[in-house]
Amino acid sequence: MPQKPDTEPDGSGRSPGHRCNPNNPSLLADTAPLSYPEPTLSTAATPTTPVPGAGDYATFTFAYFAVGVTVSVAMVEAGVSAARTMTAALLIYSATTQLAYLAVQAADGSALVGVLSGWLVASRFGILASSLGSRYEGPPLERAAAAVNCFDPNVALAIQQAEPDNVRRVFWRVTASLMIGWWTGCVVGILLGNVTENSAALGLDAVFPAALLAIIGALLRRRDGLTAALLGAAICVMAIPFTPGGVPILLSALGAAAAFLLARKTSTEDAP
């Protein structure tokens, strides 16, 4: 009697036992090789820093609007005419420079010391321009215009962009939002300065210190930045009783120079 196979054929003419028998010499030949999908790489660029949106630009406009109101009110209350205040807003457009000048004038300092104090606090714009220069691609006249309009927010956001086109686009869009807020705030500040008798009652006196702390806040978290701030403040306080108004501000720059020399000496000593 013929023996019945242990298993039924699977329709291919061979029984499952044919494939599973380890003694079958055609096992490897009959087994289809395993296949895996080819790996694919996405070609879509993932930006490391997102481009600012409309909400970001609106925030910059509002912030500089508040600073413009503060500066113009302070200038009008200090006796500066509305025409001169608006001229300074259009030509200087630097809150720190204008308030440094006013601080020297309030301390009975000379006009020269006031101008030098304003120049000192505005010197950071030159550093910002040099930081932008290596990333900004454009015609010479456009680069010159960009250098004149270098501020903390627009340079900080522009140099973080990966694409050169985004560097230019973000820089000028942020610049436009800053200028709109600044000039509008200056006009409102001139109007308020003519009708209010005490800007401190409106809380405007706290806007500028808050803005200045926002600018230097990141530097204060660094060792060299904190050292420069502490040394500069100490020099300024010690010089107040012995020097004319405004001179302590100029002398405080020695704190930054000392911090730079200390940081350079430390890096030299740590070098292998």
Return the CA Rg of the chain.
Answer: 34
Q: Cα separations (Å) of 71 from 118, 208, 216, 265?
A: 14, 8, 19, 40
**Counting Cβ atoms within 10 Å, is residue 110 exposed (0-12), middle (13-18) or buried (19+)?**
middle
C-alpha dihedral sign at 46, 48, 51, 57: positive
- What pLDDT, on the 0 to 100 scale, is given for residue 133? 85
CA-nearest of 40, 20, 39, 38 to 30 is: 20
For residues 245, 246, 247, 250, the Cα torsion angle rounded to the nearest 10 degrees is 170
CA-nearest of 70, 87, 67, 90 to 78 is: 70
- Weakest-pLDDT range from 23-32, 95-104, 131-140, 225-234: 23-32
pLDDT beyond 60 at 39: no
Token reading at 240: 């107040």
- What pLDDT, on the 0 to 100 scale, is given for residue 28? 46
Give the pLDDT band (50/70/90) at residue 2: low
- What pLDDT, on the 0 to 100 scale, is given for residue 77? 83
Kindly report, residue by residue over 141-157, the tens digit of the pLDDT.
Answer: 999 999 988 988 889 88
Q: What is the DSSP track for 37-102?
A: PPP--------SSPPP-HHHHHHHHHHHHHHHHHHHHHHHHTT--HHHHHHHHHHT--HHHHHHHH
Average pLDDT over residues 164-171: 89
- What pLDDT, on the 0 to 100 scale, is given for residue 269? 61
Is 37:61 a contact under the CB 8 Å cutoff? no
**Counting Cβ atoms within 10 Å, is residue 93 exposed (0-12), middle (13-18) or buried (19+)?**
buried
Average pLDDT over residues 185-203: 76
Give the pLDDT band (50/70/90) at residue 198: low
- Weakest-pLDDT range from 63-67, 158-162, 206-210, 245-249: 206-210
What average pLDDT is seen over the chain?
76
Q: Could you give the CA distance from residue 66 to residue 185 in angstroms, rounded to a whole number?
A: 6
Q: Could you give the CA distance from residue 228 to residue 255 in angstroms, rounded to a whole number?
A: 5
Q: Could you give the CA distance from residue 85 to residue 74 in angstroms, rounded to a whole number?
A: 10
Q: Could you give the CA distance from residue 227 to residue 75 in angstroms, rounded to a whole number?
A: 32
pLDDT beyond 70 at 98: yes
Q: Could you give the CA distance from residue 118 to residue 100 in angstroms, rounded to a whole number?
A: 5
The proportion of the chain whose per-residue pLDDT surpasses 70, expressed as a percent, equals 71
DSSP type of residue 252? T
Select, from the ranges 24-33, 43-52, 57-66, the one with the highest average predicted confidence (pLDDT): 57-66
pLDDT beyond 50 at 62: yes
Kindly report, residue by residue over 221-266, the tens digit of the pLDDT.
Answer: 777 778 888 888 898 889 888 888 778 878 888 888 887 787 777 7
pLDDT beyond 70 at 48: no
Average pLDDT over residues 16-41: 48
Torsion-angle region of 108 (φ positive above 0: left; ψ -120 to 50: alpha; else: beta) = left
Average pLDDT over residues 46-70: 80
Is 85:190 a contact under the CB 8 Å cutoff? yes
- What pLDDT, on the 0 to 100 scale, is given for residue 178? 92
